[in-house]
Structure 1
Amino acid sequence: MRSSNTASKRRKRLDLGKSADLGRNPHTIAADAANVAASGVPPGNGEGSQSRRGRVISVSWGEYTRQIGIDGTSAAIKEAIRVAFRLRTKRLFWLEDEEHTIRTIDRGMPIGNYTLHIDEGLAIQICQFDEFEDLPIITEDKIFYTQDDFHDFLVGRSWICLQEYDSNRNIDNMDDLRPGVLYRGVRRG
């Protein structure tokens, strides 16, 4: 009986120790102590909390807001944003701060609140023609987001470029496309 009584007293002492650290993981406590020793800033609310979490920005897109760590490379930060907002395309995006300044996405960006903007793409119209009478058959709206999208579209239709309907100007680079202009595909030879 005496041994169970001793075990009970030990358990109470351990429980008292746990209540002092509010049930936190002992590894976290050790990490906090190491952070205090290294930085001289105690953990908790405010700046100490920020240093423990690393550099974090708040990014909003529509109704959604996510906290994004910016301690990594530019590529890693961009990937974290893509994952956080479930962006599954290659569309370009950028961040704008509360003063409407577009910021580079890197670890040196100021801590703050940002709005995520996603490229709406370049919308054009493509007309398919009757090969024998050169009359329009179907007009299709198409949006391109990247040069690769544009190139894949041309290759998929066996076209070498697009041609502006009114000016006969050939376009083989997405940067030369103009929104709202009517185009048609041009085949080899």
Structure 2
Amino acid sequence: TSTALWYRYSQGERNIYGIDFPDGLQKNDALSTPIITPTTKASDGGHDERITNAQVVSLGLVEAALWRRVSEVAVAIFQRGQEIARRAGLILVDTKYEFGLTPNGDLVLIDEVHTPDSSRFWIADTYAARKTAGQEPENFDKEYVRLYYAAQGYRGDGDPMPLPVDLANELSQRYIRTYE
């Protein structure tokens, strides 16, 4: 999509989400360290807007100390997820986390964590060979459904057309394999 990190990089941007990226990256390269790519939460039917880490604070969305804590916790959870995925023969590529505060002000992770709906997973054993061959990594997530809808012209506005039964069955099998 036009907001995806790789798309923006491939269009020549080198400062994305307030983060400077070096020249020479290739599609599906691993980054040297995890990065935080915050977005605003859109209302129903809207699209989340990407913002920089600095804007999270400057827009008054979160105080600086809390944002540092959220960022530290997010990276720690992601790295733990990568370890677990690695042991299962997968690469946890990226994910989405949502955080909130309890009435007492305690930071809590809310919503799903490391599911195929919120994360991208690639097969570790075939990643390097497929990348060298110019192929997309084998995956266990919903990315292929997103690509199907994009090919049909759906851009996320309104209700999508029904997913064909064979694609729905494949999606179920991918989710089961990810769990296993």
- The answer, yes or no, to whether TM exceeds 0.5 is no
TM-score normalised over the length of structure 1: 0.22
More strand by share: 1
Q: Which of structures 1 and 2 has the bigger CA Rg? A: 1
